[in-house]
Amino acid sequence: MPHPSALSASVHRAVLDALAVVFPVSCAGCDVPDRDLCESCRQTLIPAPTMRRLPSGLEVRSGLLFEGEAARVLRAFKEDGRTSLARPLAVALEAAWPVGIDAVPVPVPASGPSLRRRGYAPVELVSRRAGWRPHRLLRVTRHTADQRMLAKDERAANLAGAMAVRPGAHRRSGGLPVVLVDDVVTTGATLEEAARALRAAGITVHGAVTVAATPRRRRSEDSS
Ligand SMILES: [Zn+2]
């Protein structure tokens, strides 16, 4: 199917209607039938960038708050294999990129088991939909406990030393600084570990961008 932007809105809708007959779907945000993403939920994905600074000083910019319909859409994209949601979510990711920065986007790596379970790497996919070329400079070196099961102070300990750079990472970054990319920031422990591994290899980390940030009042709810 051609990219929707190449079609008029009415043709686009007709295609969606036809597809809904063949592949019944419901909106990822609100379950209304026959739409992968309804117009009302699409509106909740309009970027409203925020910035927070982690304890290490790392600046994290996020396109959305991880709440309501936007959180449901992001979960459906990450957990239910609904890869068509990458494009609308990429709009939020793009909006989080720091203005005027020439840097290499580096996705936070998914662990082996989650990659095998899903069959795709959500962060890389949404980065590509944002028009970026993600550089796989990081790898997971050991299995860690699910961050969601841990208290805030346990999360950093759980992740310490859990990532390393891949061979040739410094050369592959082309001497440019990097910007880390992840789906959701909660405590920021995952991003801090990723930044630590890159800096240990002599790579400058300019900051991080995420599709969404957990609202501060409910930080412990999801992700890492
Ligand atoms: Zn909806």
pLDDT recorded at residue 25 = 84
Domain check: are 16 and 115 in the same one?
Answer: no
Give the chain's end-to-end CA distance (angstroms, integer).
35
Entry pTM:
0.83
Between the CA of 3 and the centroid of ligand 1 the distance, in Å, is 21
pLDDT tens for the 224 residues of the chain, in order: 445 455 577 787 777 667 656 666 899 999 999 889 999 999 999 999 999 999 999 999 999 999 999 999 999 999 988 999 999 999 999 999 998 889 999 999 987 777 777 888 999 999 999 999 999 999 998 777 676 777 777 776 777 778 999 999 999 999 899 999 999 999 999 999 999 999 999 999 999 999 999 998 644 444 55
* Total tally of structural domains belonging to the chain: 2
Same domain, 81 and 133: yes
One domain for residues 57 and 89: yes
Residues 37 and 107 in one domain: no
Domain that holds residue 32: 1-41
CATH no. for residue 71? Answer: 3.40.50
Ligand 1 centroid to residue 8 C-alpha, Å: 21
Beta strands in 89-185 (DSSP E): 104-107, 138-140, 163-165, 178-185
Residue 30: count other Cβ atoms within 10 Å of its Cβ: 16
What's the gap in Å between 222 CA and the centre of ligand 1?
21
Q: Is the same domain home to 140 and 183?
A: yes
Q: Give the Å distance between the CA of 74 and the centre of ligand 1.
A: 13
Residue 145 CA to ligand 1 centre (angstroms): 33
Residues near ion ligand 1 (Cβ under 5 Å): 27, 29-30, 38, 41
